[in-house]
Amino acid sequence: MTPKPLLSRHAPAAEAATLRYNAWVQGFHFSPEVAAARAAGGAIVALESTILAHGFPYPANVELAHELETTVRSHGAVPATIAVVDGVVHVGCDEPTLLALGREGNTFRKAGATDLCVYVARGARAATTVSATAVIAAAAGISVFATGGIGGVHRGNDGDISHDLVAVARTPLAVVSAGAKAILDLPKTVEALETLGVLVIGYACNEFPAFYTAESGVKLEHRSDDVAELAAILTTHWSQFGGGGALIANPIPATAALPADRINQAVADALREATAAGISGKQLTPFLLRRLSEITQGSSVIANRALACNNAKLGAQLAVAIAARRAAAA
């Protein structure tokens, strides 16, 4: 007999949330590929669009979009790049939309989970951040989201905390990332994840990855070296314990990692420049990533692309394993 969820006392709230999600999802535009996978209970991997519109220059951003989607498909899952187009949430973007995100990225606003409603209500165009992508993916019934790195606690300002952490904590999905962005305070970010109740598991690693490097010095409590085991842990987390989000920390491949001292110095220099220029809020991360690219002569961009594709690969493998477990239990 299948055990009942231990947190059944939260069932009324969960049921109400499900009803709200169902009403919201009716307004989503699903690509034919994603719609078919949802109907069949297939493996789907959510992908964000901010990395395309604001993270890479054209045409490298469109090339990355194609590479991420190809990587997901080649490992047995369906990619669902998420964006808001003319006020409609798209779960799975067609080629014209991917091209628009790449060529006209400056016309797409940067939407977090909190202000998604603004862009939808105004019929605007917006690229989704980690928080917005997580909320939309969960509402659409997608269990795995692959991204480069999540937001977190900013260096030198404990009060500047990305909403990514809260959104991930609240949504029942697995986020595969190379840790958090290197420009952040990683020890405090891990502490915040623990406080918010996000399950963090290192995939084949004992330390929280530092985005451009595999190690940060921040030890992780849980490690798994097997995708099938990860799928078992996650489905148990959600089905039996009413759990929320999980972060699967997947280190950058060794062949693409940057020297720690080099990238740490580059981050420090970029942060000083941002402070001197008074840059903060949503403009800070794009500025820092752009300056890191300039300081490292493009090495950071190459590393970013490599880790994003590595996360898409693991995300697809995990989505396939989760779908298989659910099909076997049905």
Q: How far apart are CA 303 and CA 47, in angstroms?
A: 18
Q: Which residues are catalytic?
A: 48, 181
Q: What angle do CA 221, 168, 112 make, to 5 degrees?
A: 145
Residues 6+ away with beta carbon under 8 Å from 209: 178, 179, 202, 215, 216, 249, 250, 251, 252
* Residue 63 near residue 4 (C-beta atoms within 8 A): no
Two tokens, residue 125: 């165009």
What is the distance of C-alpha 166 from the center of its chain? 13
Contact indicator for 48, 82 with CB cutoff of 8 Å: yes
Q: CB atoms < 10 A from the CB of 177, how many?
A: 26
Contact yes or no for 178/149 (Cβ under 8 A):
yes
Q: What is the distance of C-alpha 92 from the center of its chain?
A: 15
In contact, 149 and 177? CB cutoff 8 Å: yes
**Conformational region of residue 211, where left means phi above 0, alpha means psi within -120 to 50, and beta covers everything else:** left
Provide the strand spans (E) within 34-105: 44-47, 78-85, 88-91
CA distance 147 to 212: 14
Angstrom distance (rounded) from CA 81 to CA 127: 10
Please answer whether residues 201 and 224 qualify as being in contact, where contact means their C-beta atoms are separated by less than 8 angstroms: yes
3-state DSSP assignment of residue 247: strand
